[in-house]
């Protein structure tokens, strides 16, 4: 009995150890991911992107309204322009924008000469593209890649601005398409006669879920385009769609809960101040979601490891070493930079080991070459000696000829003596 109990205890201990080791293996990647998000200054850069979003919204709105107005050949005040403004009001963040300001801008564009209208659109596109320049800077840090040259960077940003301008109407259409289709079914007696379609049309939850699905698809397209095009790196769609789905789902959840958040926790803000605060909060969380999706792609699928310290400590530590300009008056109380120092020493040691291995390989290769050359030289010398030595037949003939010559000379000497 005692042995059975001890065996059970040992099996339970081994099972618990296996469970604990499995849990540690599963939690370690999440800890590293959170460390990467924190050390990359994810929340700090979210604030910077929120400000960029806020300053870019008006140029983006002007560009969207003007470009769509040119496409439909519409003058503000017509049905097409009203439809455009109504569609823009459904976009999160633009819905709370000052509609009169956008309308007045479009009126001025319509009343201006053609060159001035085009110039205004070009300036709006350029101003809105600064948002994507800021996004590229953040994503370059996340993916550990160097930024594009200025000309190429601005070209990509302007291209993304145009893509964004095209995607916004698609996003609005995709988000409203399920409700439109259900309304068509509800207003068409022939379609409503079908039991399945009638059940869907009469259920308000179906309409709401359909709107969320449409918005989810549209948000996925937007995030996927940003994650593939904006970073200065060739990213395979297989390594980017996961982060796009994470960001799209979080965005839809955030959009669904944001009205409750504003009414519950931000009811004290009124008027223009309240509008600005609500807009900033929305853009900040949108930027957090954008960076979070990029971190998912970079860490789990591009295998980018976290920095040993936060970004400021890492840059100041490595920059101080490279430039040797760390100030002597630095405060003694600061973040511990030993993780960065250890990583630097480890990198130097690995580089030295790699160089030593390369030197050993080169020395072995040189020794092998010298041995081959020595053997080849010895073989050449042997071949030359063989070529210089006469053959056996020629030697025998020379001996016989010498003997005969000696006999003839001896015979002549004997005869002359007689």
Per-residue pLDDT of 28-77, as tens digits, reads: 888 999 999 999 999 999 999 998 888 887 777 766 666 555 555 444 44
- 216 and 104 co-located in one domain: yes
pLDDT value, residue 244: 94
The residue segments making up the domain with residue 59 are: 41-301
On the question of pLDDT at 384 being above 90, the answer is no
Q: Is residue 11 one of the residues assigned to a domain?
A: no
* Residue 278 maps to a domain: yes
Q: Would 145 be classed as within a structural domain?
A: yes
* Number of compact structural domains in the chain: 2
Please tell me whether residues 77 and 194 are part of one structural domain: yes
Q: What is the pTM of this model?
A: 0.67
Domain co-membership, 119 together with 205: yes
Any domain includes 390: no
Residue 364 in any domain: the answer is yes
pLDDT tens per residue, range 157-201: 988 888 887 776 666 666 666 666 666 766 777 666 677 666 766
**373 and 236 within one domain:** no
Residue 267, domain member (yes or no): yes
SS (H, E, C) the chain: CHHHHHHHHHHHHHHHHHHHHHHHHHHHHHHHHHHHHHHCCHHHHHHHHHHHHHHHHHHHHHHHHHHHHHHHCCCCCCHHHHHHHHHHHCCCCCCCCCHHHHHHHHHHHHHCCHHHHHHHHHHHHHHHHHHHHHHHHHHHHHHCCCCCCHHHHHHHHHHHHHHHHHHHHHHHHHHHHHHHHHHHHHHCHHHHCCHHHHHHHHCHHHHHHHHHHHHHHHHHHHHHHHHHHCCCCCCCHHHCHHHHHHHHHHHHHHHHHHHHHHHHHCCCCCHHHHHHHHHHHHHHHHHHHHHHHHHHHHHHHCCCCCCCCCHHHHHHHHHHHHHCCCCCCCCCCCCCCHHHHHHHHHHHHHHHHHHHHHHHHHHHHHHHHHHHHHHHHHHHHHHHHHHHCCCHHHHHHHHHHHHHHHHHHHHHHHHHHC
Lowest average pLDDT, out of 102-106, 121-125, 159-163, 352-356, goes to: 102-106
For residue 244, tell me if it sits in a domain.
yes
* pLDDT attached to residue 89: 53
Phi and psi angles of residue 41, each rounded to the nearest 5 degrees, phi first: 60, 50
Q: Which carries the bigger pLDDT value, residue 322 or residue 403?
A: 322
The answer to whether residues 67 and 200 belong to one domain is yes
């Amino acid at each position: 009995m005692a042995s059975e109990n001890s065996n059970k205890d040992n099996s339970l201990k081994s099972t618990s150890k296996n469970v604990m080791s499995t849990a540690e293996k599963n939690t370690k990647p999440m800890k590293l991911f959170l460390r990467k998000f924190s050390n990359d200054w994810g929340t700090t850069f979210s604030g910077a992107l929120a400000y960029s979003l806020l300053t870019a919204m008006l140029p983006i709105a002007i560009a969207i309204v003007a470009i769509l107005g040119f496409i439909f050949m519409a003058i503000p005040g017509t049905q097409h322009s009203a439809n455009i403004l109504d569609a823009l009001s459904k976009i999160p963040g633009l819905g709370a924008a000052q509609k009169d300001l956008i309308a007045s801008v479009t009126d001025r564009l319509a009343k201006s000469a053609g060159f001035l209208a085009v110039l205004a659109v070009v300036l709006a596109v350029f101003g809105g593209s600064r948002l994507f320049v800021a996004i590229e800077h953040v994503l370059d840090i996340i993916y550990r890649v160097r930024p594009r040259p200025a000309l190429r960077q601005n070209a990509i940003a302007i291209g993304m601005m145009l893509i964004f301008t095209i995607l916004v109407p698609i996003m609005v259409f995709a988000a409203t398409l399920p409700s439109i289709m259900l309304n068509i079914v509800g207003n068409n007696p022939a379609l409503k006669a079908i039991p399945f379609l009638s059940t869907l049309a009469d259920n308000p939850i179906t309409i709401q879920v359909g709107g969320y699905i449409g918005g989810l698809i549209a948000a996925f397209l937007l995030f996927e385009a940003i994650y593939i095009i904006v970073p200065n790196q060739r990213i395979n769609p297989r390594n980017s769609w996961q982060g796009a789905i994470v960001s799209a789902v979080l965005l839809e959840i955030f959009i669904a809960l944001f009205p409750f958040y504003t009414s519950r926790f931000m009811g004290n803000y009124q008027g223009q101040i309240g509008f600005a605060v609500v807009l900033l909060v929305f853009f900040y969380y949108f930027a957090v979601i954008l960076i979070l999706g990029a971190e998912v792609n970079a860490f789990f699928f591009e295998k980018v490891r976290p920095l040993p310290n936060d970004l400021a400590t890492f840059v100041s530590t490595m920059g101080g070493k490279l430039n040797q300009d760390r100030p002597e008056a630095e405060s003694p109380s600061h973040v511990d930079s030993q993780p960065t120092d250890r990583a630097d020493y480890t990198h130097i040691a690995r580089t030295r080991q790699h160089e030593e291995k390369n030197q050993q390989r080169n020395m072995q290769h040189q020794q092998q070459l010298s041995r081959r050359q020595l053997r080849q030289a010895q073989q050449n010398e042997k071949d030359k000696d063989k070529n210089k030595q006469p053959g056996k037949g020629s030697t025998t003939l020379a001996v016989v000829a010498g003997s005969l010559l000696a006999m003839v000379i001896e015979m002549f000497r004997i005869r002359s003596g007689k």
